[in-house]
A and B are shown apart, each in its own frame.
Chain A
């Protein structure tokens, strides 16, 4: 139903962009892909639009990652991100550094842990996460617990290794 998609669009667009951003690490590309996903939803009219959108988005992000790997654009993408950060240069550098650490930490997770965590952070329910990742519903909590722990540990380790002594609290 188009009305449902309009509602999902209002409530989920931001989360979908964020989800995609943490996969492609390019703000504008994330917006493009999110809009593309919604455009497809308008055509396909899936019953469970929200879950469907995240499945499509995850697939698009995966294709994107393959393409990026082929073109070896990672470094360029990282550099271009400062374009999208508002505020003083110092803040921008700081935000850039943080983002790099978060990205590095996320990459230490297993793909399924990472996916579950990103989906949860995007507002999906355990049921939706289970449907998308193939996890048993009862395993989602355990998966998220592990993902969160590893993320925080890897992030802190990255900060320590990166020459910043004070752990962020």
Chain B
């Protein structure tokens, strides 16, 4: 056997020679001083290269559970979190399209606004979303310099209605209040406060118009006057503004920023028993069984509050549970 080439030496040291090759090489090395010396050199080279590479490794963090990866929602969320400029661009394009659709005079608006959704039992996969939400916050802080400054820029260059516009697809998915939740007529009753109810069609109609008609910015004092109570919000979140519905003076929206890219809207008005809305909702109640909710509502004190935002129903639900009168 002639001298061993370096490729074979590396394969030998890597444990990648076949058993016969392996045996033959060891016999040769034992008899050949030059090859034996080279073997030692190559061994130290391999160790050296490995050490150099190991200087460039990320800090190891535990892998998330595998089943979490299977959720398409998670992946969508990731894309939203990681590629915001694109996500926002896509959102704006989508919203413009839907806005056009909703306002095109001949467009079949009614079918589009048929309520589909809102089940309070969240599918199992969505149980993870709370964690996702937390993780997303973590991501945000970790990426503060780079991503957030980007996205903050993109948010601030959009008119305020962008947040609104982004939610338009959900407007089509809205449903009306399920019987169970709508039945208690006294909204101040304690047990009603915890009821998660469904968006009613009265607000639904308004949402279709948000695209073009500006909701007037109002002061907190005006909001209190209109509602007959303090407007509510999620404690600890920056409020972007309070706006009044252009068509229904009793309805206002509080917009709050969950993070630099996510605007949560809290539609609210003094709670009343709306028989028409109730009948409407009953009709579609059967359809509402399966589809996940995109928008949820509950009573807070004397107010009926609906939440909307680019989050999963579970996340929205958690946020809605935290709603309190703004200080």
Q: Which residues of A contact B (CB under 8 A)?
A: 5-6, 9-10, 13-14, 17-18, 21-22, 27-32, 35-36, 38-39, 42, 73, 76-77, 79-80, 83-86, 95, 98-99, 101-103, 105-106, 117-118, 120-121, 125-126, 138-145, 147-149, 151-152, 155, 168
A39 contacts across to B, CB distance below 8 A: 69-70, 74-75
A-B contact pairs, 10 of them (CB 8 A): A6-B66, A13-B63, A76-B145, A142-B10, A143-B7, A144-B14, A145-B7, A147-B49, A151-B49, A152-B49
B59 contacts across to A, CB distance below 8 A: 27, 84-86
B194 interface contact, C-beta 8 A? no
Question: How extensive is the interface on chain B, given as a class?
Answer: 35 or more
Q: Are A21 and B57 in contact (CB under 8 A)?
A: yes
Return the contact of B11 from the options A18, A38, A79, A126 (Cβ within 8 A): A126
B66 contacts across to A, CB distance below 8 A: 5-6, 9, 38, 42
Return the contact of B16 from the options A22, A29, A73, A126 (Cβ within 8 A): A126
Contact A80 B146, CB 8 Å, known A28-B139, A39-B70, A145-B10: yes
B9 interface contact, C-beta 8 A? yes
Q: How far is the CB of B90 from chain A (nearest CB, A)?
A: 16
Contact bitstring B30-65, A, C-beta under 8 A = 1, else 0 = 000000000000100110111111011111110110
Q: Which 6 A-B pairs have the closest CB atoms?
A: A142-B7, A141-B11, A27-B58, A141-B7, A148-B49, A102-B56
Q: How far is the CB of A92 from chain B (nearest CB, A)?
A: 11
Contact A17 B58, CB 8 Å, known A80-B143, A117-B53, A151-B52: yes
A76 contacts across to B, CB distance below 8 A: 145-146
Contact A141 B16, CB 8 Å, known A21-B57, A148-B49, A149-B45: yes
Chain B residues numbered 72-116 whose CB sits less than 8 Å from any CB in chain A: 74-75, 78, 82
Give 5 new A-B contacts, CB below 8 A, not counting A80-B145, A141-B8. A6-B66, A28-B142, A38-B66, A148-B49, A151-B49
Q: How far is the CB of B11 from chain A (nearest CB, A)?
A: 3
Q: How far is the CA of A35 from the CA of B56 in the complex (A)?
A: 20
Q: Are B48 and A152 in contact (CB under 8 A)?
A: yes
Closest to A86 in B: B59
B49 contacts across to A, CB distance below 8 A: 117, 147-149, 151-152
Q: How far is the CB of B295 from chain A (nearest CB, A)?
A: 28
